[in-house]
Amino acid sequence: MPALRLSVLDQSPISEGFTGADALHNTVDLARRVDALGYHRYWVAEHHGTPMLACASPEVLIGPIAAATERIRVGSGGVMLPHYSPLKVAESFSILSGLYPGRIDLGLGRAPGTDQLTMLALQRDRRQPAPNDFPEQLVELLSYLEDRMPPDHPFARLAQLPGRPGRPEPWLLGSSPQSGIWAAELGLPYCFADFINSQGAAIVDEYRRRFVDSERLPAPMASVGTLAICAETDDEAQLLASSGRMAFSLMRQGRLIEVPPVEKALCYLETRPPRPSSPGEARRRAAVGSPQTVRAKLEELAAEYGAEELVILTITHDHEARKRSYELIAEEFGLSTVAAPSSAVAT
C-alpha cells in the first residue's frame, strides 16, 4: 500500500485578542512551514460572516500562499460554487494555474458556508433565493476548465481562459451521500469532511462503487478531512483542544466567537452542562494527543475510509501551538524525509 499522504486544511482561525489580518498572515506563515515539512497540499476554506474565521475568499489567499511556498500544492477547500458564476471561478483558477503550473487545486462544495442572511448578501440579485442548480453549475465549470463546452451551448464562445495551458485539478468536497454520487458520476476525486460527519465511510465506499472512469481520473481517489491537535503529551493536547471545543459548543447555540484562550475555554467547559445526544447523531471527532496517539488515530481513520490521503484541520488559540502540532505529526510520520524536490514557481 502506498504511503499515506498528509495535507492541511486551513480555516484561518481568528484568535481572541488578535485581528483577521493577523489570522491571514498566520495562514501564509503556516503554509511556509508545512511546505518545508513535506505535506502534500494546502487548502484554504471558505466561510463568511463569522468572527472566528478569516477565510472568506480562498481564491484571493491561494496566490500569496503559492508565492510563499515552493513544492506544496495549493487550493481551495473549497469554493462554495452556489455563490458564484462558473465562468468567474474558471477564470480565477485558470489565472492561478497559469502562474503556478501543476500546483493549483480547485476544491468545490455546495454548502453556503454561512447563515441564510449572509448567503443572501453574497448574491448579486436579492429579489429571490438563488436557484438550487449545483449539478448544472459544476458541469458548466468543468466544461470551461477542460475546453469542452458543447458548440451549441450559449456560452461556447466564452471558453477561452487566460491561464492556459495551465489548469487546476478539480475536486468535489462533501459530507453527504449526494456529493459522493456526483463525484463518482463525473469521475472526480472526492474529499469527505469527517470533521462534519463522522459516519462517512459508507458514503466513500459508495463513491468508489459508482465511480465512472474518465479522462479526469482513471480510478476513484478519496481523501478525508479530519480534526487533529498534536502536542508533546496527551494532556497538553487536550488543553489546547479546549479552545475549539468552547467555540464549537457556542456555535451550536448560535453564538459566534473568536477562538478563546485555553484558560477561558477551560472555565467555560467546567460549567457547561453536558449536551444530550440525539439518536443517530454523528458527533464531531478529532485526533487529539501526543504524536503516537495522534498517529494511531489518524491511521485508524484512514483505514476506516480506505483513504489515500488525510487533510488535517487544526484550530488552537496560539498560532505557534498550531504550527507545532503540524510539526509533530510530520515528524511522527517521517514526512520531512520523503518531501519532493522543489519545483520552479512562475512569478
**If pLDDT is split at 50, 70 and 90, which confidence band does 343 have?**
very low
pLDDT score of 145: 95
If one compares 273 and 242, the residue with the highest pLDDT of the two is 242
Instruction: Write out pLDDT tens, residues 303-314.
Output: 999 999 999 999
pLDDT score of 113: 63
Q: Measuring CA to CA, how many Å separate 198 from each of 175, 202, 225, 312?
A: 9, 11, 10, 14
CATH of segment(s) 5-229+285-337 = 3.20.20.30
Torsion angle of C-alpha atoms 319, 324, 330, 333, degrees rounded to 10: -130
pLDDT score of 116: 77
Residue appearing with cell numbers 474565521: 53
Tell me the backbone φ, ψ of residue 145, rounded to 5 degrees: -60, -35
**If pLDDT is split at 50, 70 and 90, which confidence band does 342 have?**
very low
Q: How far apart are CA 339 and CA 37, in angstroms?
A: 7
Give the start-to-end residue ranges of the domains of the chain: 5-229+285-337
Average pLDDT over residues 87-109: 97
pLDDT for residue 119 is more than 80:
no
pLDDT score of 114: 72
